[in-house]
């Protein structure tokens, strides 16, 4: 009896997950700006300043020769990458360097197009800052490890942690399905 109930509830949950279509958004031109020496990358909509993707990369060295040393290093690198995102959102966003980096990237992208003024680019950089502030909690909840690489020659691991609009929406849906 319990097995049947468990199987039926599992099938219902799995079908509920697969039947919810993701909303497609129009492909707007996006710009990518790097911070902290390339460890943090922010992609945003060129016209509205809406943040599309936040990516953090971190590395860790193996500290032992135990069989689980690689797994432990992946955990350490993942925690470092997430810590970078938190520190970025607390300090970099409030600094003038943030606006300057966004502004400079927009200026470089406009060299070919020459269709935006400095005032518009400044407004977009402020919109990116505001978008990250408003979505900070969702960004942290929607982070996941998108890439894990182990380099045997240097005995290091590299992890890339990402969060995007779609990832945040998926995290919210999963949370609702679990009753949180």
Q: Which two tokens stand for residue 177?
A: 């399905």
Does 7 have pLDDT greater than 60? no
Per-residue pLDDT of 112-145, as tens digits, reads 555 556 777 778 888 888 888 888 877 887 888 9
Instruction: Give 117 or 78, the one with higher predicted confidence.
Output: 78
pTM, full prediction:
0.71
Closest CA to 93 of 58, 56, 125, 138: 125
First and final C-alpha spacing in the chain = 28
Query: Which whole number is the average pLDDT over 96-111?
Result: 77
> What digits encode the pLDDT tens for the residues 29-68?
677 788 766 688 888 887 788 888 889 999 999 988 898 9
Looking at the predicted structure, is the pLDDT value of residue 149 above 80? Answer: yes
Q: How far apart are CA 130 and CA 44, in angstroms?
A: 12
Contacts of 140 (CB under 8 A, 6+ apart): 82, 85, 86, 89, 163
CB 144 within 8 A of CB 167: yes
∠ CA 58-62-66, rounded to 5°: 140
Residue 52, helix vs strand vs coil: strand
């Amino acid at each position: 009896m319990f097995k049947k109930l468990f199987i039926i509830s599992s099938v219902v949950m799995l079908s509920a997950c697969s039947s919810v279509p993701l909303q497609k958004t129009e492909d707007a031109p996006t710009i990518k700006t790097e911070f902290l020496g390339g460890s943090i990358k922010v992609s945003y909509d060129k016209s509205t300043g809406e943040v599309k993707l936040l990516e953090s990369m971190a590395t860790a060295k193996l500290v032992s020769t135990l069989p689980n040393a690689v797994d432990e290093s992946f955990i350490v690198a993942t925690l470092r990458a997430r810590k970078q995102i938190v520190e970025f959102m607390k300090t970099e966003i409030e600094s003038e360097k943030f606006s300057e980096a966004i502004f400079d990237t927009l200026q470089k992208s406009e060299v070919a197009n020459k269709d935006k003024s400095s005032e518009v680019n400044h407004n977009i950089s402020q919109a990116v800052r505001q978008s990250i502030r408003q979505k900070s909690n969702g960004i942290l909840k929607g982070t996941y490890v998108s890439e894990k690489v182990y380099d045997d020659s240097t005995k290091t691991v590299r992890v890339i942690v990402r969060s995007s609009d779609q990832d945040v929406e998926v995290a919210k849906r999963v949370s609702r399905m679990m009753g949180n």
